[in-house]
């Protein structure tokens, strides 16, 4: 059976043309040989509403994903902390299904919790307040009612503010907390979890109520493309190179 592929934290943007090319290569290559492709948040560096499809980068990414979907491969999108406003119009253009912020899927006989992961960074109190505010439907309606140029200006201001605040925070509060991870395992009842967000790719083992649980953290795409491949034999990480 073909493998299932996972990516996260691509942060695709016009100023990263090499990674845009790597994403196109991923969609034209490994993704076409998969059983399904899951994007676990932050496909884009910023998303200010589905009218962003007017942007050439957004249109190209949607086109690349549509090619995967048209080949009969299931494409699944999850919101991240940068692109939580991705909506039905983009999903339709990409031929993709939008997922809830946490979902359990059966991966070759192992129920697996999928999530972006930012909700588990519970020591970062200021970020969690921001997250709660921006996920509020009333806030989102107000923001999306602004003109496109105004939304872009707000997004740029928020990114600068986030960079400044992150630089002042200790590394310890930017990662997930043990308590949040354990609670996620308990609430979902699974023994495997896959997420992104922290940009700290690794394979962790944690004991939760006597169960040996596995947590896979996906790599970001800041320096190179990367995806996790899962099949009956296990899980492996691969790099994605842009065409020469």
CA distance 181 to 201: 15
Task: Give residue 19's pLDDT.
Answer: 94
Q: Are strands 225-231 and 4-7 parallel, antiparallel or unpaired?
A: antiparallel
Task: Give residue 166's pLDDT.
Answer: 77
Model confidence pTM above 0.75: yes
CA distance 114 to 123: 21
Mean pLDDT score of the chain:
95
Task: Give residue 244's pLDDT.
Answer: 63
CA distance 226 to 241: 9
CA distance 130 to 125: 9
CA distance 74 to 134: 29
pLDDT at 230 over 70: yes
pLDDT at 209 over 90: yes
* Model confidence pLDDT, tens digit, residues 132-149: 999 999 999 999 999 999
Place of tokens 């944690």: 206
CATH number of 4-240: 3.60.21.10
Pair of tokens at residue 185: 């395992």
* Model confidence pLDDT, tens digit, residues 177-197: 999 999 999 999 999 999 999
* Model confidence pLDDT, tens digit, residues 78-99: 999 999 999 999 999 999 999 9
DSSP count for the chain of H helices, then E strands: 7, 11
Place of tokens 């939304």: 151
Residue 235 neighbours by CB under 8 Å, 6+ apart: 203, 216, 228, 229
* Model confidence pLDDT, tens digit, residues 22-48: 999 999 999 999 999 999 999 999 999
| Cβ atoms 37, 69 nearer than 8 A | no
């Amino acid at each position: 059976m073909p493998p299932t592929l996972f990516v996260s934290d691509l942060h695709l943007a016009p100023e990263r043309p090499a990674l845009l090319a790597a994403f196109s290569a991923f969609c034209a290559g490994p993704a076409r040989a998969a059983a399904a492709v899951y994007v676990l948040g932050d496909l884009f560096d910023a998303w200010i509403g589905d009218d962003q499809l007017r942007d050439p980068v957004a249109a190209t990414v949607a086109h690349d994903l549509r090619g995967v979907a048209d080949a009969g491969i299931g494409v699944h999108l999850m919101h991240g902390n940068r692109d939580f406003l991705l909506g039905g119009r983009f999903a339709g253009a990409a031929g993709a299904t939008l997922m809830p912020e946490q979902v359990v899927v059966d991966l070759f006989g192992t129920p697996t919790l999928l999530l972006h992961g930012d909700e588990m960074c519970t020591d970062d109190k200021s970020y969690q307040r921001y997250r709660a505010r921006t996920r509020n439907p009333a806030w989102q309606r107000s923001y999306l009612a602004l003109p496109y140029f105004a939304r872009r200006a707000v997004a740029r201001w928020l990114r600068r503010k986030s960079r400044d605040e992150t630089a002042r925070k200790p590394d310890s509060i930017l990662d997930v907390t043990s308590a949040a991870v354990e609670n996620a395992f308990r609430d979902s009842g699974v023994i495997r979890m896959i997420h992104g967000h922290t940009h700290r790719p690794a394979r962790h083992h944690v004991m939760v109520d006597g169960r040996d649980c596995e947590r896979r953290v996906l790599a970001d795409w800041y320096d190179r493309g990367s995806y996790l491949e899962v099949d009956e034999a296990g899980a492996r990480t691969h790099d994605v190179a842009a065409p020469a």
